[in-house]
């Protein structure tokens, strides 16, 4: 999913070992470890401890994964988790290069990469006997993944803004475009280097709200070009850049992920606000997929990742919506979770096919 900061982390592998925990997270660690009691029937008794390798990122994402998923997994199996950092195409190429002995056991990967993994025939259909918590995943996510893995978390890319400058926030995406062109504020949107989720959130979304689609994205490109020509648009290409732009005054408002926005707001930034404009914000979903030939204990970790308890822990830490229909969020976090009726799910498979064409057009028309 979902939209973590990947700057400078390509190819890096992190062994087990948590970053420093905030005091409020210690209760979460104890709670997540207790999940193993409920999942004990899946334990492989007497097996030697192993290191399970997953794909992923660093920072808060790593902290949440180790707290909410690794801790109960280790309590259950005795195994540890190593994180191979990088990007989806890198992980997929590494797996394809080692058939039968993949260097990664479990993919935690955004939708575009998940579909590439399916097309590359490197992942297995979910073994529902080994992953009983899959039964609790909301049906719309099952319809989306068709059993070739599962969404575990989703985020929405709405608008984060400085309320001391933007006193009348846009209620629709068209108001955002028009206000930027008119100079009501300085805006920032994901740049090309942010990848497919950035293009889905900009080109496709702006085309979609104007009646376009994957095969007719002209309006999306035209809107971005007009905003840039107005002199009121900048771009961000990693998850921290927009925060710096708003902090420095380079931007007043920007397209940004809901969970990261709320975490920033709660970190003593009371003047910052977040809104999902109509007709909804683009959803980014992160999947979990078992790699063919990967260690079978990956099913145990996947079952924990899809559990209501594990997802509640993760959702409360990350401020993102979770796929298990039985998740209960902390009362302070629940109002910050973007509702399912406020998200728009792009046609990621078709967008992936259009990416070479769209990248070429972006390079020609967006400067």
pLDDT tens digits for range 211-229: 999 999 999 999 999 999 9
Q: Which of 4-18, 114-128, 317-331 has the lowest average pLDDT?
A: 4-18
Residue at 1 is within a domain:
no
CA distance 349 to 355: 10
pLDDT digits (tens, 9 = 90+) for 236-294: 998 889 999 999 999 999 999 999 999 999 999 999 999 999 999 999 999 999 999 99
> Do residue 296 and residue 208 come from a single domain?
no
Band of pLDDT at residue 22, cut at 50, 70 and 90: very low
Residues in the chain: 367
Residue at 7 is within a domain:
no
Residue ranges making up the domain that contains 64: 13-154+284-338
pLDDT confidence of residue 60? 86
> Do residue 100 and residue 179 come from a single domain?
no
> Do residue 208 and residue 354 come from a single domain?
yes
pTM of the model: 0.78
Residue 64 has pLDDT above 80, yes or no: yes
Which CATH number does the domain housing residue 76 bear? 3.40.190.10
Segment 296-322 shows an average pLDDT of 97
CA distance 294 to 287: 16
CA distance 198 to 3: 9
Residue at 331 is within a domain:
yes
Residue at 2 is within a domain:
no
Long-range contacts of 99-102 (CB under 8 A, 24+ apart): 99/293, 100/293, 101/293, 102/291, 102/292, 102/293, 102/294
Residue at 180 is within a domain:
yes
pLDDT digits (tens, 9 = 90+) for 30-48: 455 455 545 544 444 555 6
Residue at 112 is within a domain:
yes
> Do residue 266 and residue 328 come from a single domain?
no
How far is CA 61 from its chain centroid?
9
> Do residue 102 and residue 185 come from a single domain?
no
> Do residue 74 and residue 199 come from a single domain?
no
> Do residue 221 and residue 347 come from a single domain?
yes
> Do residue 39 and residue 134 come from a single domain?
yes
Structure tokens at 175: 């108001």
> Do residue 32 and residue 86 come from a single domain?
yes
Residue at 3 is within a domain:
no
> Do residue 242 and residue 165 come from a single domain?
yes
> Do residue 32 and residue 110 come from a single domain?
yes
Q: 3-state DSSP: the chain helix, strand, coil percent, rounded to 5? A: 45, 20, 35
pLDDT confidence of residue 38? 52
Gap between the terminal Cα atoms of the chain? 28
Report the domain count for the chain: 2
> Do residue 356 and residue 213 come from a single domain?
yes
Residue at 217 is within a domain:
yes
Segment 96-114 shows an average pLDDT of 95
Angle between helices 348-365 and 218-229 in degrees, nearest 10: 40
Other CB atoms within a 10 A radius of the CB of residue 244 amount to: 12
């Amino acid at each position: 999913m979902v939209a973590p900061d990947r700057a400078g982390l390509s190819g890096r592998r992190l062994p087990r070992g948590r970053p420093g925990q905030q005091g409020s997270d210690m209760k979460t660690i104890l709670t997540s470890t207790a999940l193993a009691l409920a999942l004990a029937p899946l334990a492989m008794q007497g097996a030697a401890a192993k290191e399970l390798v997953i794909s992923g990122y660093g920072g808060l994402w790593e902290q949440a994964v180790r707290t909410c998923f690794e801790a109960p997994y280790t309590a259950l199996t005795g195994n540890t988790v190593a994180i191979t950092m990088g990007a989806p195409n890198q992980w997929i190429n590494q797996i394809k290069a080692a058939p039968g002995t993949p260097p990664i056991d479990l993919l935690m990967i955004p939708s575009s990469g998940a579909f590439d993994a399916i097309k590359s025939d490197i992942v297995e259909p979910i073994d529902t006997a080994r992953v009983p918590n899959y039964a609790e995943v909301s049906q719309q996510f099952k319809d989306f993944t068709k059993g070739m893995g599962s969404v575990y978390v989703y985020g929405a890319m709405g608008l984060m803004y400085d309320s001391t400058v933007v006193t009348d926030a846009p209620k629709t995406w068209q108001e955002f475009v028009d206000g930027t062109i008119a100079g009501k504020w300085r805006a920032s949107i994901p740049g090309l280097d942010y990848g497919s989720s950035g293009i889905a959130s900009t080109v496709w979304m702006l085309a979609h709200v104007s009646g376009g689609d994957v095969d007719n994205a002209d309006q999306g490109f035209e809107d971005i070009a007009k905003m840039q020509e107005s002199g009121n648009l900048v771009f961000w290409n990693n998850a921290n850049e927009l925060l710096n732009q708003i902090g420095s005054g380079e931007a007043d408002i920007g397209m940004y992920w809901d969970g990261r926005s709320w975490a920033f707001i709660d970190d003593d930034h009371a003047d910052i606000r977040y809104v999902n404009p109509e007709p909804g914000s683009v959803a980014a979903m992160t999947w979990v997929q078992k790699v063919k030939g990967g260690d079978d204990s990956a099913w145990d970790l996947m079952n924990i990742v899809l559990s209501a308890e594990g997802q509640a822990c993760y959702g409360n830490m990350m401020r993102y919506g979770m796929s298990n229909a039985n998740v209960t969020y902390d009362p302070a976090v629940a109002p910050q979770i973007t509702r399912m009726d406020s998200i728009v799910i792009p046609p990621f498979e078709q967008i992936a096919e259009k990416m070479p064409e769209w990248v070429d057009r972006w390079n020609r028309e967006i400067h």
